Chain A
Amino acid sequence: MQLEYFLLLAAALFCIGIYGLVTSRNVIRVLMSIELMLNAVNLNLMAFANYLDPATATGQVFAVFVISIAAAEAAVGLAIVLSIYRNRDTVDMEQFNLLKW
């Protein structure tokens, strides 16, 4: 019964991340929510690796990759945020609705 608790916790974390992703007005907080979601995924991977595949630990390798990719993504994300901020002088998501219909 241990696995389900991990999975439930990861799902809750993921949902919190989605909630933050959808509702935040600050771009930085959006990136932070994405990190939260990625970490929820990592938690999942670790739980599965531990309980279902303890011999080969493929999930842990996956998690390592996810962490490194997430770092790169956060870096690029912050770069994008900076370049937007230079042009528009704001990090408010509500102001970034130029590409509508």
Chain B
Amino acid sequence: MITETSWLIPLYPLIGALLTIPWSPGLIRRTGPRPAGYINIATTLMAFIHSLLAFHALWNRHSSPQFFFAPWLQVADLNLTIPLEVSAITLGAVILITGLNLLAQVYAIGYLEMDWGWGRFFAFMALFEAGMCALVLCNSLFFAYVLLEILTLGTYLLVGFWFNQSLVVTGARDAFLTKRVGDLILLMAVLAIYPLAHTWDFRELAAWAQTAEVEPTAMALIALGLVAGPMSKCAQFPLHLWLDEAMEGPLPSTILRNGVVVATGAWILVKLEPVLALSPVATTGAIVIGAVTALGATLIAIAQIDAKRVLSYLSSAYMGLVFIAVGAHQPEAALLLVLTYALAMAALVMGTGSIILSVITQDLTQMGGLGSRRPITGLTILVGTFGLVALPPLGGFWALLQLMTGLWTDHYGGLVVIVLAVNGLTAFSLARLFGLMFAGTPNQMTTRAPEPIWLMVMPMMVMVGLTLHLPLLLQTLGLLPAWAELNGDLALALTWVSLSGFGIGALLYIGRWGDRPDAIVPLRLRNLLAFDFYTPRLYRLSVVLGVDSLSRIADWLDRYLVDGLVNLVGVASLVSGEALKYNNSGRFQFYMLTISLCVVAIALFMTWQYLPGL
């Protein structure tokens, strides 16, 4: 019963979003915005409890996935039915989304204490929650695309929350446009796959892909289009700049975005894995994109001085690992990685936000010496770090190990090295983050930094607990990969790489071994990484420049050529009127002459054929 009504889950936050509207500052002027937040927490809690109960019921009965169909639109021979899949995996994703959103919203009540825009903020958060729940429940590529677009709009609104800041406005613009480009290419592929498969249902697509014989070029193009959508959603190279700039948005939304929103693309990618498997070009493409992003983004994360941006590039990097996993045909490893990553990253972002709120600066070079006074936050960041990198027995270890084992057995030797390197570099960058924040002597900015109020501490601690309990949870659910299937040597290698990455980082930044560790690297390389391979300049010199000059040319053509042609007709008739009026000379004799000449002309014309010898 509770399972059958799972399709209601996205409706709770949607109702919450609608109910917050009255508490916009323009409508209810007296009470302040706080009820908006409380209502949304209540609706999110309801959605969370509902999904938990549904999952419990489904799990106990060991029932197979259930599918529901809601008719939406039937036009001619196109029948658009919304298929919903209620299975352990979709309900698990819903639990993750609603749970994370619940924690982020409680966190936001503490974080946005001094803000008046709760109505807007909580409405957007609820819209996100509803969109993501609907996305994981819906089982159709077409409606997944619809929801992805709604989420793109949600990102625009949420990043542009404090819209009186100029960087927020440009960040929201880039986030919208970059994600939109990916969505549009995805739409092309979604439309192109229909004539081939005659369905958008993920299950039927998978079944079709088993036996499909499609022309390789067409399939490669379609599959690349299907990869391009998640590529922008997951902030992969070269569409990664938006996530960096999205860090201008309010921090509680960052918890959600870094944790789960970027994973929406990965979810679609995992669902489409059977289709992508049809085209080796596309899977290779996904692997290349993922590998380049993972390596590049971790290197960039090491060179950032903005605490939030360190985490945003690590988000890109881990989504790159998901791309590698999907490209190497390991959807289970990808899903496990998304789960472990989401919890650990949420803990990291929460801890960072807790620091930023009291230290005010986000500049890592101005932090330091917080270790003794911010133990809870320090613990959160440490646990998040260890949960993210491969350190047994925490979750990230199992996900990465499963991925690596799969890669090793499928003879992707190079990718194994890349995953190891990404893991080590991530460990290093997180050790640097932790060291710069908590070790050393207090700076001017950090001399007085108390722990935040319980509303922020509690979600952090719950996050820590979840991250720590994740392996047990996975074991109970039977999701932990069996030890026998895993490669012990790889496990050792992973652990050693994590430990040495973290150890070197700890030596340099926690032990403060050496005066300026970054001075080892040449300045040019440091700047290259710190400025994100100069991606903004790259965009401005390639796509933006092209589109801009094209639009300028088009504008010029419209303004001067098209308009000019039409105006020319008007001007010509005006001028001819002005010029021809001088025929009205006002002289009787001139009129007489005109008449005479006309008569002669007409007479000549009429008698032309009778005139001899002409």
Q: Which of B581, B582, B584, B588 is most buried by chain A, counting CB atoms within 10 A of its CB?
A: B588
Q: Is A98 part of the contact surface with B, judged by Cβ < 8 Å?
A: yes
**A96, B584: Cβ atoms closer than 8 Å:** no
Contacts of A30 in B (CB 8 A): 588-589
Q: Considering the complex of A and B, which 3 residue pairs feature the smallest CB-CB distances, nearest first?
A: A100-B586, A97-B586, A101-B581
CA distance A21 to B584 in the complex (A): 18
Contacts of A18 in B (CB 8 A): 592, 596
Closest residue of B by beta carbon distance from A98: B586
**A23, B589: Cβ atoms closer than 8 Å:** yes
Interface size class of B (residues with CB under 8 A): 10 to 19
Q: Mark B572-590, 1 if CB is under 8 A from A, else 0.
A: 0000000001101111110
**B588, A96: Cβ atoms closer than 8 Å:** yes
Q: Is B611 part of the contact surface with A, judged by Cβ < 8 Å?
A: no
Q: Is B75 part of the contact surface with A, judged by Cβ < 8 Å?
A: no
CA distance A101 to B592 in the complex (A): 17
Contacts of A94 in B (CB 8 A): 587
Q: Is A99 part of the contact surface with B, judged by Cβ < 8 Å?
A: yes
**A22, B586: Cβ atoms closer than 8 Å:** no
Partner of B596, one of A22, A24, A96, A100: A22
**B593, A22: Cβ atoms closer than 8 Å:** yes
CA distance A93 to B587 in the complex (A): 8
Partner of A93, one of B582, B588, B593: B588
Contacts of B581 in A (CB 8 A): 101
Q: Can you list 6 pairs linking A and B with CB atoms under 8 Å apart?
A: A93-B587, A96-B587, A96-B588, A100-B584, A101-B581, A101-B586
- Which residues of A in the span 67-101 have a Cβ within 8 Å of any Cβ on B? 93-94, 96-101
Closest residue of A by beta carbon distance from B580: A101
**A97, B587: Cβ atoms closer than 8 Å:** yes
Closest residue of A by beta carbon distance from B596: A18
Contacts of A101 in B (CB 8 A): 581-582, 584-586
Closest residue of B by beta carbon distance from A99: B586
Count of A residues near B, CB < 8 Å? Answer: 14
CA distance A23 to B587 in the complex (A): 11
Contacts of A96 in B (CB 8 A): 586-588
Closest residue of B by beta carbon distance from A93: B589
User: Known pairs A99-B586, A101-B582. 13 more at Cβ < 8 A?
Assistant: A21-B589, A22-B589, A22-B596, A24-B589, A30-B588, A30-B589, A93-B587, A93-B589, A96-B587, A100-B586, A100-B587, A101-B581, A101-B584
CA distance A21 to B594 in the complex (A): 12
CB distance from B579 to the nearest CB of A (A): 11
Contacts of A22 in B (CB 8 A): 589, 592-593, 596
Contacts of B586 in A (CB 8 A): 96-101
CA distance A33 to B198 in the complex (A): 93
CB distance from A81 to the nearest CB of B (A): 12
Residues of chain B touching chain A, judged by Cβ–Cβ distance below 8 Å, are 581-582, 584-589, 592-593, 596
CB distance from A96 to the nearest CB of B (A): 7
Q: Mark A12-36, 1 if CB is under 8 A from B, else 0.
A: 0000001001111000001000000
CB distance from A73 to the nearest CB of B (A): 15
CA distance A18 to B592 in the complex (A): 8
Contacts of A93 in B (CB 8 A): 587-589
CB distance from B158 to the nearest CB of A (A): 68
Contacts of B593 in A (CB 8 A): 22
Closest residue of B by beta carbon distance from A94: B587
CA distance A100 to B588 in the complex (A): 10
**B585, A100: Cβ atoms closer than 8 Å:** yes
Closest residue of B by beta carbon distance from A24: B589
Contacts of B589 in A (CB 8 A): 21-24, 30, 93
CA distance A93 to B589 in the complex (A): 8
CA distance A24 to B588 in the complex (A): 11
CB distance from B294 to the nearest CB of A (A): 81
Q: Which of A18, A23, A24 is most buried by chain B, counting CB atoms within 10 A of its CB?
A: A18
Contacts of A99 in B (CB 8 A): 586
CA distance A9 to B581 in the complex (A): 38
Contacts of A23 in B (CB 8 A): 589
CB distance from B112 to the nearest CB of A (A): 75
Closest residue of B by beta carbon distance from A21: B592
CA distance A22 to B587 in the complex (A): 10
CA distance A100 to B585 in the complex (A): 5
CA distance A24 to B596 in the complex (A): 15
CA distance A98 to B586 in the complex (A): 6
Contacts of B588 in A (CB 8 A): 30, 93, 96
Q: Mark A36-79, 1 if CB is under 8 A from B, else 0.
A: 00000000000000000000000000000000000000000000
CB distance from A12 to the nearest CB of B (A): 15
CB distance from A58 to the nearest CB of B (A): 24
CA distance A79 to B358 in the complex (A): 108
Contacts of B596 in A (CB 8 A): 18, 22
CB distance from A28 to the nearest CB of B (A): 14
Closest residue of A by beta carbon distance from B586: A100
CA distance A94 to B589 in the complex (A): 9
CA distance A70 to B211 in the complex (A): 106
CA distance A24 to B593 in the complex (A): 12
